[in-house]
Amino acid sequence: MPKITWVLDGGREISANVAVGHNLMEAAVANNVPDVIGECGGCLSCATCHVYVDPAWAAKTGKPGEMEDDMLEITTAERREMSRLSCQIIATEELDGLILHVPHI
Amino acid sequence: MAAPIILLGAGQASASCAAKLRALGYDGKLTIVGEEPAAPYQRPPLSKKYVSGELAVERLFIRPLSWYGEQQIDLRLESHAVALDPAAHLLTLADGSKLPYSKLLLATGSTPRSLPSEIGGRLGNVFTIRNLADADAIAPALKPGAKLLVIGGGYIGLEAAAVAAQKGLTVTVIEMAERILQRVAAAPTSDFFRALHQSHGVTIRESTGLAELLGADNRLTGARLKDGTIIPADLAIVGIGIIPNDALARDAGLAVEGGILVDGQCRTSDPDIFAAGDCAVFAWRGARTRLESVQNAIDQGEHAAACLLGAAPDYDPKPWFWSDQYDVKLQIAGLNRGYDSTVLRPGKRPLSQSIWYFQGDKLIAIDAMNDALAYALGKKALEAGRSPDRAALADPASDLKTVLA
Ligand SMILES: Cc1cc2nc3c(=O)[nH]c(=O)nc-3n(C[C@H](O)[C@H](O)[C@H](O)COP(=O)(O)OP(=O)(O)OC[C@H]3O[C@@H](n4cnc5c(N)ncnc54)[C@H](O)[C@@H]3O)c2cc1C
Ligand code: FES
């Protein structure tokens, strides 16, 4: 199970091992990561699962898909180059060690 | 010690309210009472990826079970409330126990309308979809080759039809109104989904009333329509709307009118009793409003938390909704109530388009099919109170960002 770390605004870190195949919004909610809400349950309709991928991991997480890219228009915190909707990032072994920065909303 | 705040109904609105109460610093006693055996879970997948078998039950829960302990929330499941005494501040459960509360949130949700038993509504293999238990009962009946009759062409019925058609069932949808989705969408949206379902082999029969369901040995065998036609069926899913769960409130003497009446503070006619979610009716933009959506359950649940602790500005929802059918994602922003015209904007991808609802010159809602940009930019424009020029909007060559600026 890959280990994922969420770095909150302010610096606190939360780490958890996430089952392969689960998306990182549901993993964040299951681990009480504040500010990752996931109102639509991961179906690309709310943008409340917005995170910034740590630049070191950009190649492994890849780019947002077309619909995700459009939905990034309505994030609460500002959209940046590393913005992703975490419900669209699926846990794989390759993501072991991944760091996600969570904007405060 | 002070009596707890009780949230009645262990669903979406209560879960959001509880989290918000703690986030706002309420550290007193907090109890959630719910009749279902499961901790609060998401209902939308019940007619989508859960009933199709793509999503395991563990992935439906809104919070992990451990969260309730960590947050010191007393989660009482399988506890059905049967009476409410506002004067004594007591909630009575089916086992006779009486729970004192300091303040109470009614978040009891709603119940699907069912067909009367005189016309076969109680036959075996006739289902509605509201709870996990309903979806668990339907899933095994979705066998390739079986004949499914969907009664009611609303979102839940159409989602179930899509799942079943993809599993190889023979599906017929009957809709009493002139067109599917009539209550919730404009004709172009109905046309889009009719064509989509037909392309997947589903038979859509509109302006078609049901006379009765037919059965033998308590099992469904088919349906007789008002025009006399008989449609054979192995199972039926009834999706003809919901009724807010307001009986407890009514019996307790609270004001109830097609739902539990609340003010902008989520407060009922009793100062210590609040309501939120599917069961609550409130005044919004000059009309009685009851929203049946995750957006409303979350936002009104959170709003109720603020109001339980003190005053807050009046609840002013920003409605949004979605539906998944086949490979089409429908996203809705705003509320189209009272629209007098629509503009259709073709999308850039196959099966993508958006319908923009206007009241006079004012944009009030959008239905976007496979067009997240239209949804996202439209939602932003709605929230900022901006209305685009219609001709520019209808022109597929125009740049949406410019049109909505
Ligand atoms: C199949 C389906 C698909 C849906 N799809 C979508 C969608 O795609 N998008 C969207 O936005 N919305 C969708 N919805 C609507 C959304 O799920 C509801 O609006 C939302 O769940 C309402 O939340 P609530 O807390 O008001 O009620 P609920 O989540 O229904 O919770 C109420 C709870 O209270 C319990 N209860 C009631 N009375 C009592 C009592 N007397 N004692 C104890 N417990 C009691 C009920 O058993 C229930 O568990 C869907 C709903 C269904 C059923
Ligand atoms: S959870 Fe809604 S878009 Fe990710």
Q: What is the predicted ipTM?
A: 0.94
Name the residue facing B376 among A22, A32, A74 (closest C-beta).
A74
By C-alpha distance, the chain B residue nearest A65 is B372
Task: Give the Å distances, CA to CA, from B237 to B44, B111, B122, B139, B159.
Answer: 16, 14, 12, 12, 11
In sign, the C-alpha dihedral spanning A43, A49, A55, A57 is: negative
Answer yes or no: do B298 and A39 touch at CB < 8 A.
yes
Would you call A104 exposed, middle or buried from its count of C-beta atoms within 10 A (0-12, 13-18, 19+)?
Answer: exposed
Would you call B327 exposed, middle or buried from its count of C-beta atoms within 10 A (0-12, 13-18, 19+)?
Answer: exposed
Answer yes or no: do A46 and B320 touch at CB < 8 A.
yes
Q: Per-residue confidence of chain A (105 residues) as pLDDT tens digits?
A: 999 999 999 999 999 999 999 999 999 999 989 899 999 999 999 999 999 999 999 999 999 999 999 999 999 999 999 999 999 999 999 999 999 999 998
Return the best residue to mutate from A22, A43, A73 for the ligand 2 pocket (most ligand atoms within 8 A of CB). Answer: A43
* B26 vs A: CB within 8 A: no
Distance from CA of A11 to the nearest CA of B (A): 19
CA Rg, chain B, in Å? 22
Between the two ends of chain A, the Cα-to-Cα distance in Å is 29
Distance from CA of A45 to the nearest CA of B (A): 7
* B67 vs A: CB within 8 A: yes
pLDDT band at B381, cuts 50/70/90?
A: very high
In sign, the C-alpha dihedral spanning A60, A63, A64, A65 is: negative
Mean pLDDT of B369-392: 96
Number of Cβ within 10 Å of residue A6's Cβ equals: 24
Q: How far does the centroid of ligand 1 lie from the alpha carbon of residue B6, in Å?
A: 18
Q: Is A24 in the pocket of ligand 2 (CB under 6 A)?
A: no
User: Is the per-residue pLDDT at B46 higher than 90?
Assistant: yes
Q: Are B80 and B35 in contact (CB under 8 A)?
A: yes
pLDDT band at B155, cuts 50/70/90?
A: very high
Would you list which residues of chain A are within 8 Å, Cβ to Cβ, of chain B? Answer: 22, 26, 29-30, 32, 39-41, 43-47, 66-68, 70-71, 73-74
DSSP letter assigned to residue B51 = T
pLDDT band at B311, cuts 50/70/90?
A: confident
Q: Which tokens hold the place of B31?
A: 């109890």
Task: Give the Å distances, CA to CA, from B192 to B97, B120, B196, B330.
Answer: 52, 32, 6, 11
Q: Which residue has the tokens 């609303």?
A: B154
With 0.90 as the threshold, say if the pTM is over it. Answer: yes
Number of Cβ within 10 Å of residue B391's Cβ equals: 10
Q: Which tokens hold the place of A35?
A: 């500010």
pLDDT in tens, A2-31: 999 999 999 999 999 999 999 999 999 999
Nearest atom within ligand 1 for CA of residue B247: 41
3-class SS at B76? strand
Q: Are B377 and B403 in contact (CB under 8 A)?
A: no
Nearest atom within ligand 2 for CA of residue A46: 2
Nearest to B145 by CA among B163, B165, B126, B173: B165
User: Is the per-residue pLDDT at B144 higher than 90?
Assistant: yes
Q: Which ligand is nearest to the CA of B11?
A: 1
Contacts of residue B324 in chain A, CB cutoff 8 Å? 43
Q: What pLDDT, on a 0 to 100 scale, did the predictor assign at position B2?
A: 86
Interface probe for A, chosen from B16, B24, B42 (most Cβ of A below 10 Å), is B42
DSSP letter assigned to residue B206 = -
Nearest atom within ligand 1 for CA of residue B45: 3
Q: What pLDDT, on a 0 to 100 scale, did the predictor assign at position B93?
A: 98
By C-alpha distance, the chain B residue nearest A66 is B372
Task: Name the residue with the closest Cα to ligand 1, atom 29.
Answer: B11
Looking only at the bridges linking them, the beta strands covering B341-346 and B353-359 are antiparallel
Residue A14 to residue B198: CA distance in whole angstroms: 48
Instruction: Calculate what percentage of chain B has a pLDDT beyond 70.
Output: 100
Nearest to B153 by CA among B198, B116, B122: B198
User: Is the per-residue pLDDT at B1 higher than 70?
Assistant: no
Run of H or E residues at B373: helix B372-384
pLDDT band at B55, cuts 50/70/90?
A: very high
In sign, the C-alpha dihedral spanning B273, B278, B279, B284 is: positive
* B295 vs A: CB within 8 A: yes
Name the residue facing A70 among B64, B298, B376 (closest C-beta).
B376
Q: How far does the centroid of ligand 1 lie from the alpha carbon of residue B352, in Å?
A: 30
Cα angle at B295 between B289 and B297, to 5 degrees?
A: 70
Answer yes or no: do B329 and A39 touch at CB < 8 A.
no
Task: Give the Å distances, CA to CA, from B217 to B124, B162, B221, B237.
Answer: 9, 29, 10, 19
